[in-house]
Amino acid sequence: MASSSSTSSIKKSYQYDVFLSFRGEDTRKNFVDHLYEALHRHGIHTFKDDERLKQGEGINNQLLKAIENSKLFIIVFSKKYASSSWCLNELVKIMECQKSNDQIAYPVFYDVDPSDVRKQHGPVGEALAKHTNKDIRKWREALTEASNLSGWDLEKTADG
């Protein structure tokens, strides 16, 4: 009896089109709010922590689930991004998802040089140096990986 084989690719269905990773202190009330509103206006379902986190549930678990359930990631690197262990843990998860799934990460460099993120120099290096925890190695690797992706350096884009 002849066997027939069929190949079918099963595409994952995502809850969010985009997950925004950013340091609120640097970018929430300016760049990120404008970006979020522009995406929303165009019908792009976007996860932004202050808009989507559910009261009474663990923040870290919600963030990790939202990352897993997002098709694209926009990582807004800023001077204080690396000062937040939350941001760095998000970044590690984002880079894991990018490597193992069909999810795509896009870095945006807001008021920070891409090479400072890549090499952890300048304000990024200063922010990272304040951490004294065991996760520092994987955070450094994730920063380097993400900064090597094609993205946008806002200082070199139109009027920033």
When the pLDDT of each residue in the chain is averaged and rounded to a whole number, the result is 85
Question: In angstroms, rounded to a whole number, what is the distance separating the alpha carbons of residues 8 and 27?
Answer: 42
pTM attached to this predicted model: 0.85
- CB count within 10 Å of CB 37 equals 12
State the pLDDT at residue 56.
53
Furthest-apart CA atoms within the chain: distance in Å: 68
Which residues are designated catalytic?
90
Edge-to-edge, what's the strand order for the sheet holding 104-109?
46-47, 16-22, 70-77, 104-109, 152-153
State the pLDDT at residue 100.
87
State the pLDDT at residue 47.
92
Question: In angstroms, rounded to a whole number, what is the distance separating the alpha carbons of residues 70 and 17?
Answer: 6
- Enumerate residue ranges in the chain where pLDDT < 50: 1, 3-8, 160
Question: In angstroms, rounded to a whole number, what is the distance separating the alpha carbons of residues 19 and 36?
Answer: 10
